[in-house]
Each structure stands twice: as C-alpha cells, then as structure tokens.
Copies of this chain bind each other. A is one copy, B any other.
Amino acid sequence: MGTVFVIGVGMTPFGKFLKRSVKDLAAEALAAALKDAGLESNELEAAYVSNSFWGMFSGQHSIRGQVMLHPLGIKEIPIINTENACAGASTALNLAYTAIKAGQHDLVLALGAEKISHTDKMLSFRSYASCLDVEEFPNKIEGLIQQVEALPLEIPEGSGAGGGRSIFMDIYALAARWHMSRFGSTQRQLAVISAKNHEHGFLNPFAQYRMKMSVEEVLQDKPIAYPFTRSMCSPVGDGAAAAIVCSERFLAKRGQSRAVEIAASALGTGRERPLEEDHIGQKIAQKAYTAAGVTPEEIDLAEVHDATAFGELLQTEVLGFCAPGEGGLLAESGATRLGGRIPVNVSGGLECRGHPIGASGLAMVHEVVTQLRGEAGPRQVAGARIGLTENGGGFIGTEEAAAAVHIFKI
C-alpha cells in the first residue's frame, strides 16, 4: 500500500462568532487549505466532513457536507458526512486516509466545521450532553459519583460541585479526583498544565484565548467542578479546520516539498470499566506506534485532548510520555512546555486554542503539520520531525466513545 500525505492545511481562528454560519467557517478553512496546497477545489476527488450540532442548532440534520461544499463549487464528487462527537474531525481524517490507502482516490478533503456559541447559552451547554447515551447516562453517572465520593480525598469548600456548564466537566472532575486519590496528583499540577497552555496559546494567532495566565491566576479563577477552575476547561467556541490528503502517486506527479506523511491512523471506542483499570487509549496508541514504527520517546510534539487540563495529564501517561500516575510530575518538570523534552499542546490545546467539537481534531492536525514543516514561527518546536495527535469524543461509561491517534512524519 502506498504512503498517504497531508499536502495542505487550513483553519479559521477559533472563537465565539455569533454572526457567522457553519457554511462561512467551512468556506474559510477550505480556501486556506487549498491555498496552502496550491490546488483548486475542482481537483478534489472526495470529501469527508465532520459536524455534530448543525442539526441541533439550525435544523440541518442531513447532508451537511453537501450543504457546506456545494456553494463552493464542489459538486459531483462523493461527500461523506461523519460524526464522532469531539473526535469527529479525526474520524474524517481517518476516512480520508483509508480511501487513499484503498486506492479509491488520489486527492481528498477532510473538513470539520462547527458552531456551538449561541445567544441561548443553555443550548450551547446542552449540546455536550448529546455526546453521551442520552437515555442511559443519567443512570450511569450515579454509580460513578458514589465510586468517587468514597475516595479518601478532601474537597475544599466552595470549590465547585458541577458548574452547570456541562456534564463533561463533572465526568472529567470525577476522573481527576480518582487520579489525585490514587497517585497523589495535585490541583496545582493541573494549573501548571493550564498556565503552560495559556502561554502556548498566546503565541498562536488561531487561538481562541490569547492571554497569559500564571499558575496562581489559574488556581484563583472561578471554580467549576473540583479540582477544575474555569481556565482548566476548554471553552465553548466555533470554527473550522481542513486538511488535504493525497496519495504517493499524486505527490510524485505534482510534487510538494512541504508534504507531511500520515504514518499511522488508529481509531477505537471505549469500553465500560471501573476507574482503576487500563485505559483503552493505550491500546489505540500502541496500534498507532506499531503502524508508524516509532516509540513514544521518538515523538517530537503532541497535540492531545485537553477538554480539561486533566485530559492532558492523563493522556501524557496513556501515550507513554511518562509512567502511569506521573502525568502531573511530567507537567511540573517542564518537559511538556515549548522547549521541553516533549512539548504538548503547543497550539494552546483545547483549553486555549479552543474546541469547536467537530472541528477540533483537524485543528490538532493543522498544528502538527505546521510544526513539522517548521512554519510555526514563535511557537516552533525546534527540529520537529515526528508529531502525534490524540483526539477523544463522547463518553461511554468513563471512556471516550471515540478515540483517535494519528502520527505524522516529515
């Protein structure tokens, strides 16, 4: 099978754009990706499009990719709509990769576009709840809460017991408390992660939040659900991101000095498990490492799913950047900062670059591809040759309903 390449990336800045439409955001990301690749839209042979909430917010329940792309002159080609909650855009990339691997196409588009900000804020928050089993999850959360409340962990008064923001923050908070109780991780370590990501986001022109925050400022921010303060949580936001993916054959014919290889594309789904057991993510990561023929030590930078700072802490363990239980220590050591041993979320991560659900995974790809090409300017990871993206989505029990790991090489 031939190798698969990304030859163009594009994205909108992420943020709250109450007056912009999903179509508008998609058009901007597509135009940027085409320009980056030096291609015209009529050269594309298929499109894989991710969106989760256009139905919920505007009644566009069907054929969302067609509705986005048709006005841009993309007609006749197969357009495949996909949804996998927060991992939708990585799923679109996986489908693009698979189609090239199968020899079905030589040049395809992966696009994610999402609009979540709304004048009715409760509608925005409610969208997250549809990334769970809406019928069953209310029953499951009870058991989880009991499990976590039995832990010998002191919760400071007034530190938040669910902020009304989304049930996701509560689930993450429970998992974080378990980790603190089991491994001695601290709230300060989470603040270190968040402060680091704010520093990174400050350097990224596409980031939703571009303000530095100290560890103390993060700790003093509004409590959401212990141990999280507001700045440890990814914000509600809108945006679009795209990647143009091609075959070895196309690349040989057209040439493109800045092409980045997709060395692995691995997907999986969570199981139901008590908090103590191995994380399914380890299996998916292992599958990706094997496919790419690399070890965690060889990864030069990673964009991981920090829907909360705890997501990043846990994923650095799951991905093998440190031993299980040591994600907090890794962050404190400075290894995950720009300039450290394994820079994580140099884009600012979901916490600062932002997290428009169905677009996020391709924003991760945008960052890694930009870095591997050495085009990241002040946030460039020196000498980066191998990058990784880890993108999770939804919850089944306590694990991501969809999880995706991609490895890129230049």
A interface residues, Cβ below 8 angstroms from B: 1, 21, 23, 46, 52-53, 55-56, 58-64, 66-67, 70-71, 75-85, 91, 94-95, 98-99, 101-104, 127, 129-136, 267-272, 280, 283, 393-394, 396, 401-402
Give the shortest distance, in Å, between A183 (CB) and chain B (any CB).
25
Q: How many copies of the polypeptide does the oligomer hold?
A: 2
Bound Cα distance from A76 to B136, whole angstroms:
19
When the two chains form their complex, are residues A78 and B268 in contact, meaning their CB atoms are under 8 A apart?
Answer: yes
Q: Is the interface of A mostly helix, strand, loop or mixed?
A: mixed
Q: Name which residue of chain B comes closest to A103, CB basis.
A: B1
When the two chains form their complex, are residues A85 and B63 in contact, meaning their CB atoms are under 8 A apart?
Answer: yes
When the two chains form their complex, are residues A78 and B394 in contact, meaning their CB atoms are under 8 A apart?
Answer: no
Question: Can you list 24 A-B pairs with a CB-CB distance of less than 8 A?
Answer: A52-B61, A56-B61, A61-B127, A61-B130, A62-B130, A62-B393, A62-B401, A63-B83, A63-B85, A66-B401, A67-B134, A67-B136, A67-B401, A70-B396, A71-B136, A75-B270, A76-B269, A79-B84, A81-B82, A81-B83, A81-B84, A81-B91, A95-B95, A102-B102
Give the shortest distance, in Å, between A9 (CB) and chain B (any CB).
22
Bound Cα distance from A23 to B133, whole angstroms:
11
Give the shortest distance, in Å, between A53 (CB) and chain B (any CB).
6
When the two chains form their complex, are residues A134 and B59 in contact, meaning their CB atoms are under 8 A apart?
Answer: yes
Q: Name which residue of chain B comes closest to A402, CB basis.
A: B63
Give the shortest distance, in Å, between A110 (CB) and chain B (any CB).
13
Bound Cα distance from A162 to B56, whole angstroms:
27
When the two chains form their complex, are residues A272 and B63 in contact, meaning their CB atoms are under 8 A apart?
Answer: no
10 A-B pairs with the lowest CB-CB distances in the bound complex, closest first: A78-B267, A101-B102, A102-B102, A63-B394, A61-B130, A75-B271, A66-B401, A62-B131, A63-B401, A62-B85
Q: Name which residue of chain B comes closest to A404, CB basis.
A: B78
Q: Name which residue of chain B comes closest to A394, CB basis.
A: B63
Q: Name which residue of chain B comes closest to A403, CB basis.
A: B78
Q: Name which residue of chain B comes closest to A265, CB basis.
A: B104
Bound Cα distance from A66 to B134, whole angstroms:
12
Kindly list chain B residues whose C-beta atoms are within 8 Å of the C-beta of A63: 83-85, 131-133, 393-394, 396, 401-402
Bound Cα distance from A63 to B396, whole angstroms:
9
Pick from B46, B81, B131, B280: contact of A76, CB below 8 A: B280
When the two chains form their complex, are residues A64 and B78 in contact, meaning their CB atoms are under 8 A apart?
Answer: no
Q: Name which residue of chain B comes closest to A64, CB basis.
A: B83
Bound Cα distance from A18 to B394, whole angstroms:
28
Bound Cα distance from A1 to B267, whole angstroms:
22
Q: In the complex where A1-B103, A66-B402, A401-B63 touch, is A79 in contact with B134 (Cβ < 8 A)?
A: no
Kindly list chain B residues whose C-beta atoms are within 8 Å of the C-beta of A272: 70, 75
Identify the interface centre among A61, A64, A76, A132: most chain B CB within 10 Å of its CB: A61
When the two chains form their complex, are residues A91 and B80 in contact, meaning their CB atoms are under 8 A apart?
Answer: yes
Kindly list chain B residues whose C-beta atoms are within 8 Å of the C-beta of A127: 61
When the two chains form their complex, are residues A66 and B130 in contact, meaning their CB atoms are under 8 A apart?
Answer: no
Bound Cα distance from A98 to B103, whole angstroms:
9
Given A60-B133, A63-B401, A75-B270, 16 further pairs, Cβ under 8 A: A52-B61, A55-B61, A56-B61, A59-B130, A59-B134, A60-B134, A62-B84, A62-B401, A63-B84, A63-B131, A63-B133, A70-B133, A70-B401, A78-B268, A80-B82, A83-B83
